[in-house]
Chain A
Amino acid sequence: MISLYLPERTWLHGITAGRKLFALALVSLLIAPFDSLPLMAGLLAAVLALYASLGRAALRQLSLLRPMAPLLAILLALHAWNGDIWLGVSLCLRLLAMILLANAVTMTTRMDAMMDAVEPLLRPLAWFGASPRAVALAVAMMIRFVPLLFALWDALNEAWRARTGRRGGWRLLAPFCIQTLKLSHHAAEALAARGGAPRGDTR
């Protein structure tokens, strides 16, 4: 199960969400014009060193990259076909480094701190009648329910395999959607039972 947030405090937890997000944006802007292989390799090495400095739990999150492998393979194959494999390699290195860097921010920042940092950017939404708090709540709920949806998929797959001996695959999509809607109905009811989503900016 993916668990984005690291409960053990690391030095990166101590830096404010705003600074971390700003640094992330800055790095991605600064490297944007370049595609030199040594630079990208150096960047990835630096990011890996950052993970090492955060401890074992952070390094374990590197497994998060496994689902990325097919995508990277396709990218590499496309570039090889175009006759520019090294550009492909450098592109993959850049992608890996930036994904890991973004994940480093996610796993060391509490959701509320993240939303505090992002809320000022959402403020223009209020001009259109949407509450930034409601958006913040929706994002928090999304993060909360991702592991639950994975568990739901696993449960459906298990039920399928128990009766067929095979993996369910795409055939689970329809029941998964129905179960997800049911789950969202329960969550909505529980939210209503506690007084519903906060309206407007209450600060």
Chain B
Amino acid sequence: MTAIRLRNVTLRRGGRVVLDALDLDLAERRIGLIGANGSGKSSLVRLFNGLLVADEGEVEVHGLKASEKASELPRKVGFIFQNPDHQIIFPTVGEEVAFSLEQSGLPRREALKAAVPALARFGREHWAERPVHALSEGEKQFLCIIAVLVMEPAVVVLDEPFSSLDLITRRRLEGLIATLPQQVITIAHELDAFAAYDRVLWLDGGRVRMDGAPAEVVGAYREWAEAQAAEQALAGDAEAGA
């Protein structure tokens, strides 16, 4: 079974076509999404867990049709955002994890009790009582991932998870991601993060411009981006000279 399937999916936002008649089958375990700002990467992954709904076409995630079972998608597709501060809802680590457990069906009291063993699975049981604002950036990102993983999703989507991390923390996070049993879909501008991925898609203007092995797609994208930058610099000079 194909994990994620898109058929003729079009998405418009504010009158603009953001995703243009996409047909995709995403079955690989590690998939990277690259592309310039505004190319549609973030919108695409938001279709997978129902944060956005396609205007046309059909999205199917692990057997669930997004048009019919939108409310069940968050349990199938975990979502890690760029800024952990936007994602953490509760004042203490234990409550944050308990909320996820509650969302996946445990009654509240049991969820609160189960939060500590859930943290222990990641070697962080001593975090339970900690206030979240006392955690470092990397620790907050890790908490977001724990809170998503305890819901046991089939897919984990990471939307620019590395943006505010230093290189050490980023490498540790990449190491953690590599060990996840789930299907992982990552958006990132750190192009070397995709070296060990199975497949990389390059989005441009709401369409797939290139799709294949990381080395080829990342290489082509890098070349294109450098050429674009050079071209724009020339155009800028011409404008300044005129």
Which range holds the interface residue count of chain A? 20 to 34
Q: How far is the CB of B220 from chain A (nearest CB, A)?
A: 31
CB of A3 within 8 A of CB of B134, answer yes
Question: Is B160 an interface residue, CB under 8 A from the partner?
Answer: no
Q: Which residue of A lies closest to B75 (CB)?
A: A195
Contact of B108 among A1, A9, A202 (CB under 8 A): A202
Which range holds the interface residue count of chain B? 35 or more
CB of B74 within 8 A of CB of A1, answer no
Question: Is B60 an interface residue, CB under 8 A from the partner?
Answer: no
CB of B134 within 8 A of CB of A7, answer yes
Residues of A1-60 whose CB lies within 8 A of B? 1, 3-5, 7, 9
Q: How far is the CB of B162 from chain A (nearest CB, A)?
A: 18
Complex CA–CA separation, A203 to B109 (angstroms): 8
Contact of A141 among B78, B89, B92 (CB under 8 A): B89
Q: B53-78: contact bitstring with A at CB < 8 Å (1 yes, 0 no)?
A: 00000000000000000010011001
Q: Which residue of A lies closest to B102 (CB)?
A: A198
Given A1-B133, A148-B133, decide whether A143 and B89 contact each other with a Cβ distance below 8 A: no
Complex CA–CA separation, A183 to B131 (angstroms): 20
Question: Is A175 an interface residue, CB under 8 A from the partner?
Answer: no
Q: Which residue of B lies closest to A196 (CB)?
A: B74
Q: Which residues of A contact B103 (CB under 8 A)?
A: 194-195, 198
Q: How far is the CB of A78 from chain B (nearest CB, A)?
A: 36
Complex CA–CA separation, A147 to B103 (angstroms): 25
CB of A144 within 8 A of CB of B88, answer yes
Contact of B95 among A7, A111, A189, A191 (CB under 8 A): A111
Q: How far is the CB of A53 from chain B (nearest CB, A)?
A: 20
Question: Is B174 an interface residue, CB under 8 A from the partner?
Answer: no
Q: Which residues of A contact B88 (CB under 8 A)?
A: 144
Q: Which residues of A contact B79 (CB under 8 A)?
A: 190, 193-194
Residues of A99-124 whose CB lies within 8 A of B? 110-112
Q: How far is the CB of B150 from chain A (nearest CB, A)?
A: 11
Complex CA–CA separation, A203 to B81 (angstroms): 30
Question: Is A187 an interface residue, CB under 8 A from the partner?
Answer: yes
CB of B86 within 8 A of CB of A140, answer no
CB of B92 within 8 A of CB of A110, answer yes
Q: Which residue of A lies closest to B151 (CB)?
A: A194
When A and B form their complex, what is the total count of cross-chain residue pairs whose Cβ atoms lie within 8 Å? 87
Q: Which residue of B lies closest to A198 (CB)?
A: B102
Main secondary structure of the interface of A (DSSP, over half): helix
CB of A111 within 8 A of CB of B89, answer no
Question: Is B117 an interface residue, CB under 8 A from the partner?
Answer: no
Complex CA–CA separation, A3 to B92 (angstroms): 11
Residue from A3, A189, A193, A198 having most chain B Cβ neighbours under 10 A: A193
CB of B86 within 8 A of CB of A186, answer yes
Question: Is A65 an interface residue, CB under 8 A from the partner?
Answer: no
Given A112-B112, A190-B86, decide whether A140 and B91 contact each other with a Cβ distance below 8 A: yes
Question: Is B87 an interface residue, CB under 8 A from the partner?
Answer: yes
Complex CA–CA separation, A191 to B58 (angstroms): 24
Q: How far is the CB of A66 from chain B (nearest CB, A)?
A: 20
Residues of A76-110 whose CB lies within 8 A of B? 110
Complex CA–CA separation, A112 to B132 (angstroms): 14
Q: Which residue of B lies closest to A13 (CB)?
A: B129
CB of A194 within 8 A of CB of B74, answer yes
**Top 9 closest A-B pairs, CB basis?**
A186-B86, A193-B79, A195-B74, A190-B87, A195-B103, A147-B133, A144-B91, A143-B91, A111-B91
Q: List 15 interface pairs A-B (beta carbons < 8 Å), by A numbering.
A: A7-B131, A140-B95, A141-B89, A144-B89, A144-B132, A148-B85, A186-B87, A190-B81, A190-B87, A190-B89, A192-B51, A193-B79, A194-B100, A194-B151, A195-B103
Given contacts A137-B89, A144-B90, A202-B102, 14 further A-B contacts (CB under 8 A): A3-B131, A5-B92, A110-B94, A144-B91, A186-B83, A186-B86, A186-B87, A190-B81, A190-B86, A191-B89, A193-B81, A194-B100, A194-B148, A195-B75
